[in-house]
Amino acid sequence: MSKLKISLFGALIVMITFSSCKDEIIQPEKSLLESAYNNQSVNELDSYILGWYSNIHPTSNSELSLLSDTLKYIYELYKSYYDPHNLYKYSMTGSYPETGNNFYKGIPYIIIQNHINYKIGDSDSVYVLKDFKPKLEKDSVKFLYLTDKYKNEMLEFLDNPKYKNDWYSIMTFLNQRIKIFIRHYNMGWHLNSFPEIEEITFSNNLDTAIVSFRIRFEGGISKLIRSSNGWEMIESRLLWIE
């Protein structure tokens, strides 16, 4: 074989090898979440969620001790306020949420929002408590914290154009373990387990708080006061529906 033929043959091998490597690079591996849905495998879904639960832990007491009083009060308020298994508590007067009171009955995992918006006094400034991971305890469920990593992974799968007509079957599949909902007009997803706090407005001395909340397609406000016994909700009602 001539040197020219050998050179051409070698160049061809290099090109094929490069093309193969390039294909491997640009072909992303399917996520475990996507694989679970495609295979309709609850075992794979359990594996994904268990990894999430094992990887992200609540804020420790030592970490809490380093926070400002305002941020500590947000953690304390949330632990007193949040109860996805008693949604009727958020409508002390007027109609109850359309979800009913057993919305999360039998659901083994509850998803906790990772950011809290808050204001103080009459100021228009809105602050954000990020990486919010309160330690919650309930015998029948485990809590997942919706960090940016897991939010992005979820949305990368849920917003994949090839599944745009599968939203109901995807929701039904995932809701065997976590309960998520598509927004009105298919404009995104509700990933957090309700009630979701949209904003907290504290009084200047931080002893009163007005909480704006959402329960799926409805929302309202709650009023809480702080005493030596902690935070107590004294008013709560629904104000709007989408």
Question: How many Å apart are CA 152 and CA 163, to the nearest integer?
Answer: 16
Handedness of CA 58, 60, 65, 66 (dihedral sign): negative
- Mean pLDDT computed over every residue of the chain: 89
Average pLDDT for residues 29-51, to the nearest whole number? 92
Q: Which residues contact 101 (CB under 8 A, 6 or more apart)?
A: 86, 87, 88
In the prediction, which pLDDT does 183 show? 86
Q: Dig out the tokens for 194 from the structure.
A: 């309700």
For 64-121, the pLDDT digits (tens) are 999 999 999 999 999 999 999 999 999 999 899 999 999 999 999 999 999 999 999 9
pLDDT-derived band of residue 30, with 50, 70 and 90 as boundaries?
low
Average pLDDT for residues 6-29, to the nearest whole number? 42
Question: How many Å apart are CA 81 and CA 232, to the nearest integer?
Answer: 8
pLDDT-derived band of residue 4, with 50, 70 and 90 as boundaries?
very low
pLDDT-derived band of residue 140, with 50, 70 and 90 as boundaries?
confident
Domain regions of the chain by residue span: 59-241
CA 223 to chain centre: 24
Question: How many Å apart are CA 150 and CA 129, to the nearest integer?
Answer: 18
Per the model's pLDDT, the better-predicted residue between 46 and 22 turns out to be 46
In the prediction, which pLDDT does 187 show? 76
Give the E-state strand segments of 10-156 in sequence order: 109-112, 116-120, 127-129, 142-145
Asked whether residue 136 carries a pLDDT value surpassing 90, the answer given is yes
Tell the residue number behind the tokens 């491997």, with chain if given.
Answer: 24
Residue 132 DSSP label: -
For 62-74, the pLDDT digits (tens) are 999 999 999 999 9
Beta strand 189-190 pairing with 196-202: unpaired
Question: How many Å apart are CA 35 and CA 166, to the nearest integer?
Answer: 15
For 160-214, the pLDDT digits (tens) are 999 989 999 999 999 999 999 998 766 789 999 999 999 999 999 999 999 999 9
In the prediction, which pLDDT does 224 show? 98
Question: How many Å apart are CA 220 and CA 87, to the nearest integer?
Answer: 12
Question: How many Å apart are CA 108 and CA 88, to the nearest integer?
Answer: 20
State pTM to two decimals. 0.85
pLDDT-derived band of residue 232, with 50, 70 and 90 as boundaries?
very high
